[in-house]
């Protein structure tokens, strides 16, 4: 006997707890199988790009914090790179090392959140999330030492950072770096070999490398499809050419690969921070106000600065007309662009895999809608 | 280290497969005819000396008398970057430009964003709908003539 089914459309979100913010899908199911997905954006649109046109270059930093609020240090870094390119500012070495340390700590925090929420979406309610949040908490405490803020840091300034690290920061950093590999091992013992996780994530939502490149997908998602593309390695900004690190690659391109790449990348971040802490030397953390005034006025022109953010290539395209605020500030948001293939990834999978695949993309609604 | 294409050299290389398509060039950027953007981009993707297989970003800037589309291209095999620009919508006319989504899927959501916030239509786009704002929202906020809340406030003495 055959069972007749008819397609049914279900609205998921924007207030669904697994949508990582306010995201809405209109999903059409045939039985349990997904046959169509329509993503609907815009519930967190605040017009950051327009707001940037009314603020000075320094004030825009606060807007970049609020774009990707789980990796605000990296948003700051990408924006500052574009401003420095636009103005031709030579950054102070100590400031650059400090912002690299802050950026890599933020990358660990962001990947921890990605992994924790992916497992939350897989149905392991609470436990993995409390583990990852414990580690993230120590990173946020270090940010508090660096700049006084935990989430919306606004730590960077044109040419460096606004404040040197206090003396108690360094011992805390070292003990954290000593402890973190064991904590990651602990998490991996518990998760990476777990048969339930294998069954749920392997072979689901596979992304072939050529399709991923054509759809402008970058970051851990692209490296999980086996494409060796990391801007820290291929186009070293700041002092990334002076540090050594590996790029973890996985060829499967499925949900498990995306999870695995993030776990391995955290170990590489630890290596980078160790090298930065070794190479940093005393000195000013930013150029003096005579060299780089508080109110920077870049010459007319445009600049595009891009970094390897925690989610992919995070770029800022700034246009200056010679005034005190940007004429146009465009953000190349990896969270939004990584969603291009969402429909293709999800079609043919089951309802239970929907939020797992969605969580493995690791997006942040603040950056998707801006 | 990623090599950036010199705009003039890129213009010369484009002229070889699409004669007359470039308008202007300087050391960093190349301006092309907006109607021929599809042909140029296809050549840049497939040409063995370019291989721009990843579209980093596409955006638009409002220059009051015209709009400018900016394409940031990246080549993974060559580790190179290039910038293509195209001017359109002179005199603030309704601008309709060819979409590059059939060439690079990555342009899909970004072109929707430009359509929503800047009001430039893309011909050949599979799903051209507003993305951040709702259908029926008046105007396109990233245009320079769109009054923001602060600008729309009228001082008390002028209100009378």
Are A341 and B105 in contact (CB < 8 Å)?
yes
Partner-chain residue, chosen from A213, A304, A327, that has the shortest CB–CB distance to B76? A213
Whether the CB of A315 is below 8 Å from some CB of chain B: the reply is yes
Q: Using 50, 70 and 90 to split pLDDT, how confident is the model at B153?
A: low
* Model pLDDT for residues A177-187, shown as the tens digit of each residue: 999 999 888 88
The lowest-confidence range among A201-205, A263-267, B14-18 is: B14-18
- Phi first, then psi, for residue A262 (nearest 5°) are -65, -40
Establish if B152 belongs to a structural domain: no
Which CATH number fits the domain that encloses residue A365? 1.10.645.10
DSSP B99: -
A3 within some domain: no
Please indicate, yes or no, if residue A2 is contained in any of the structural domains: no
Which is it for strands B121-123 and A33-40: parallel, antiparallel or unpaired? unpaired
Helix (H) or strand (E) holding A200: helix A195-201
Cα separation of A213 and B105, whole Å?
A: 9
| Record: contact B142-A217, CB cut-off 8 A | no
The predicted pLDDT at position A97 comes to 92
**pLDDT bracket for residue A190 (50, 70, 90):** confident
Tens-digit pLDDT profile for residues B77-118? 888 888 889 888 887 777 888 888 988 988 889 999 999 888
Chain segment B123-150, per-residue pLDDT in tens = 888 888 888 888 888 888 888 887 766 6
A49 in Cβ contact with B142 (< 8 Å) = yes
What pLDDT sits at residue B151? 64
Q: Cα(B84)–Cα(A68) distance, rounded to whole angstroms?
A: 28
Q: d(Cα A333, Cα A120) in Å, to the nearest integer?
A: 25
Its domain, for residue A212, covers 8-369
Instruction: Specify whether the CB–CB gap between A107 and A130 falls below 8 A.
Output: no
CB neighbour burial string for A252-283, b if at least 16 within 10 angstroms, e if fewer = bbbbbbbbbbbbbbbbbbbebbbbbbeebeee
Q: Tell me whether residue B120 is in a domain.
A: yes
**What does the alpha-carbon distance between residue A321 and residue A326 come to, in Å, rounded to a whole number?**
7
* Structural domain contains residue B75: yes
> Percentage of chain A with pLDDT > 90?
16
Cα(B131)–Cα(B111) distance, integer angstroms? 10
- Residue of B138, B129, B140 whose CA lies nearest to B94: B140
Q: Does residue B157 form part of some domain?
A: no
Residue B102 lies in a domain: yes
Q: Which of residues 110-149 of B touch A (CB under 8 A)?
A: 110, 113, 117, 130-134, 141-142, 146, 148
| CATH number reported for the structural domain that contains residue B131 in this entry | 3.30.460.80
Say if residue A245's pLDDT is above 60: yes
Q: Do A45 and B107 touch (CB under 8 A)?
A: no
Q: Given this model, what pLDDT does residue B159 score?
A: 60
Q: Over pLDDT 90: what percentage of chain B?
A: 5
Secondary structure (3-state) at A116 = helix
Chain A contact for B100, CB < 8 A? Answer: no
Q: Is B119 helix (H, G, I), strand (E, B) or coil?
A: coil
Cβ within 8 Å, pair A42-B104: no
Query: Residue A1 falls within a domain, yes or no?
Result: no
Q: How far apart are CA A42 and CA A39, in angstroms?
A: 10
B151 falls within a domain: no
Q: How many domains does chain A have?
A: 1
User: What pLDDT does A369 receive?
Assistant: 85
Among chain A residues, the shortest Cα distance to B1 is held by A235
pLDDT tier at A319 (50, 70, 90 boundaries)?
Answer: very high
Q: What's the CA gap between A127 and B40, in Å, rounded?
A: 53
**What is the ipTM score, two decimals?**
0.86
CA distance B148 to chain A (A): 8
Alpha-carbon distances of B14 from B47, B109, B129, rounded to whole Å: 10, 27, 32
Answer yes or no: are the C-beta atoms of A221 and A312 closer than 8 Å.
yes
B160: pLDDT strictly greater than 60:
no
Residue B53 CA to residue B44 CA, distance in Å, equals 8
Q: How many CB pairs under 8 A join A and B?
A: 95
Mean pLDDT of A280-289: 86
DSSP symbols for A334-369: HHHHTTTTHHHHHTTSBHHHHHHHHHHH---HHHHH
Residue A305 lies in a domain: yes
Q: What are phi and psi of B87, to 5 degrees?
A: -95, 140
Share of chain B above pLDDT 70, in %: 92
Beta strand extents in chain B (DSSP E only)? 3-4, 22-25, 30-32, 54-62, 67-75, 80-88, 96-98, 121-123
A214 interfacial to chain B (CB closer than 8 Å): yes
Confidence band, pLDDT 50/70/90 cuts, at residue B155:
low
Residues in chain B closer than 8 A to A215 (CB atoms): 104-106, 108
Given A218, A235, A336, which is nearest B109 (Cβ)? Answer: A336
Counting the structural domains of chain B, the total is: 1
What mean pLDDT comes out for the span A40-55? Answer: 87
Judged by a CB distance cut-off of 8 A, whether residue B106 touches chain A is yes
pLDDT of residue A109: 92
Rounded Cα–Cα distance for residues B114 and A115 (Å): 32
- The chain-wide mean pLDDT, for chain A, equals 87
Domain holding B59, by residue range, is: 3-146
Contact map slice: A 252-291 vs B, CB within 8 A: none
Q: Enter the DSSP assignment of A207.
A: -
Q: In this structure, is residue B155 part of a structural domain?
A: no
């Amino acid at each position: 006997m055959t069972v007749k089914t008819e397609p049914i459309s279900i609205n998921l979100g924007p207030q669904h707890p697994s949508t990582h913010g306010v995201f809405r899908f209109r999903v059409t199911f045939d039985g349990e199988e997904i046959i169509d997905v329509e993503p609907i954006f815009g519930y967190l649109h605040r017009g950051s790009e327009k707001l940037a046109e009314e603020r000075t270059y320094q004030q825009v930093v606060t807007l970049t914090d609020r774009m990707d609020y789980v990796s605000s240090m990296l948003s700051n870094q990408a924006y500052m790179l574009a401003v420095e390119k636009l103005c031709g500012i030579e950054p102070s070495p100590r400031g650059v090392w400090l912002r690299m340390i802050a950026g890599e700590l933020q990358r660990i925090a962001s990947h921890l959140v990605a992994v924790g929420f992916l497992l939350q979406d897989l149905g392991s309610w609470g436990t993995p999330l409390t583990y990852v949040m414990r580690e993230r908490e120590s990173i946020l405490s270090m940010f508090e030492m660096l700049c006084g803020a935990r989430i919306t840091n606004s730590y960077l300034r044109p040419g460096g950072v606004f404040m040197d690290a206090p003396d108690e920061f360094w011992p805390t950093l070292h003990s954290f770096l000593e402890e973190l590999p064991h904590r990651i091992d602990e998490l991996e013992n518990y998760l990476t070999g777990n048969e339930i996780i294998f069954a749920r994530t392997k072979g689901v939502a596979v992304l072939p490398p050529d399709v991923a490149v054509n759809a402008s997908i970058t970051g851990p998602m692209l490296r999980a499809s086996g494409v060796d593309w990391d801007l820290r390695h291929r186009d070293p900004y700041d002092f990334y050419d002076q540090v050594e690190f590996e790029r973890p690659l996985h060829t499967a391109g499925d949900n498990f690969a995306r999870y695995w790449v993030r776990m391995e990348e955290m170990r590489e971040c630890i290596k980078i921070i160790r090298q930065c802490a070794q190479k940093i030397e005393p000195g000013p953390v930013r150029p003096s106000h005579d060299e780089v005034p508080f109110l920077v006025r870049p010459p007319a022109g445009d600049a595009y600065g891009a970094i390897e953010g925690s989610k992919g290539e995070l770029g800022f395209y700034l246009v200056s007309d010679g005034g005190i605020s940007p004429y146009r500030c465009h953000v190349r948001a990896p969270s939004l662009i990584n969603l291009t293939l969402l429909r293709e990834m999800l079609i043919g999978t089951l309802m239970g895999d929907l939020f797992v695949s969605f969580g493995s993309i690791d997006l942040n609604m603040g950056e998707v809608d801006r | 280290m990623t090599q950036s294409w010199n705009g003039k050299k890129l213009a010369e290389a484009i002229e070889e497969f699409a004669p007359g398509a470039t308008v202007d060039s300087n050391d960093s950027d190349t301006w092309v005819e907006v109607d021929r953007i599809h042909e140029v981009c296809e050549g840049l993707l497939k040409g063995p000396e370019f291989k721009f297989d990843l579209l980093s970003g596409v955006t638009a800037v409002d220059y009051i008398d015209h709009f400018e589309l900016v394409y940031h291209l990246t080549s993974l095999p060559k580790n190179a970057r290039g910038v293509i620009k195209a001017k359109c919508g002179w005199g603030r006319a309704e601008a309709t430009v060819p979409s590059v989504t059939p060439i690079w899927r990555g342009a899909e959501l970004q072109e929707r964003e430009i359509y929503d916030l800047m009001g430039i239509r893309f011909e050949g786009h599979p799903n051209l709908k507003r993305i951040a704002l709702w259908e029926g929202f008046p105007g396109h906020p990233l245009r320079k003539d769109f009054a923001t809340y602060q600008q729309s406030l009228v001082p008390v003495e002028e209100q009378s």
